[in-house]
Amino acid sequence: MVVLTLHLAIFRLLLGLSAGPRRGRAGAILAVAGTALVSGCVPADDQFGHPRDGYPADAVTMTAPVDWHAAQTIEVVLTEFGYEPATLKFRKDQPYVLKLTNTGSLPHRFQAEEFFRAIATRSVIYEDAEAGYPFLDAIALDPEETKTLRFVPVTPGDYRLSCDLTLHATFGMVGRILIE
Ligand SMILES: [Cu+2]
């Protein structure tokens, strides 16, 4: 656990996310993401919440016994401008591997603050790295990028999914995530 926490700390350090005021930093990243939409060259980045801000406290215990190779895999494609499928359904206490791929030509985001607080997240897997027990608000995907989330749903509910990049939600990039 200590090693995993350290791993995440180093990972966040590499991302430029200090352990300090993450909200402010996330705001700066959002501003950068907005810039990326215009310039097309600055990569968008994931957004993290505060560990004490409503996330399940026992994510480690809940996800420890899971055999992830036996977990159900759900694939979601992000494009201009939508999620395919736009409605996702999960069952409480069942492990899932959620694979997100951006097949569009713009950066997109899988933003679902309430959903991320309703699940025990084991990790988010990048092309060449893995962040253990992240406190996510949103996952950012550049064109042709894939990121994978391993999690166990905890709190049943109907959660909003959207892309918060300029006008993307207005153009229809919204969805629903149900935990039953
Ligand atoms: Cu988008």
Centre of ligand 1 from the C-alpha of residue 157, in Å: 24
Centre of ligand 1 from the C-alpha of residue 109, in Å: 5
- DSSP letters, 101-140, are EE-SSS-EEEE-HHHHTSEEEEEEE-SS-EEES--EEEEE
Centre of ligand 1 from the C-alpha of residue 154, in Å: 27
Q: Are strands 47-48 and 136-141 parallel, antiparallel or unpaired?
A: antiparallel
Centre of ligand 1 from the C-alpha of residue 165, in Å: 6
Rounded Cα distance between 49 and 23, Å, is 7
Centre of ligand 1 from the C-alpha of residue 41, in Å: 16
Centre of ligand 1 from the C-alpha of residue 51, in Å: 26
The full set of domains in the chain, from first to last, is 2-179 (2.60.40.420)
Centre of ligand 1 from the C-alpha of residue 1, in Å: 34
Centre of ligand 1 from the C-alpha of residue 67, in Å: 32
Centre of ligand 1 from the C-alpha of residue 48, in Å: 18
Return the pLDDT at 93: 96
Q: What is the pLDDT along the chain (180 residues), one digit of tens a residue?
A: 444 444 444 444 343 333 333 333 443 333 333 222 222 323 348 898 888 889 999 999 999 999 999 999 999 999 999 999 999 999 999 999 999 999 999 999 999 999 999 999 999 998 888 888 989 999 999 999 999 999 999 999 999 999 999 999 999 999 999 999
Sort 121 into a burial class: Cβ within 10 Å, 0-12 / 13-18 / 19+: buried
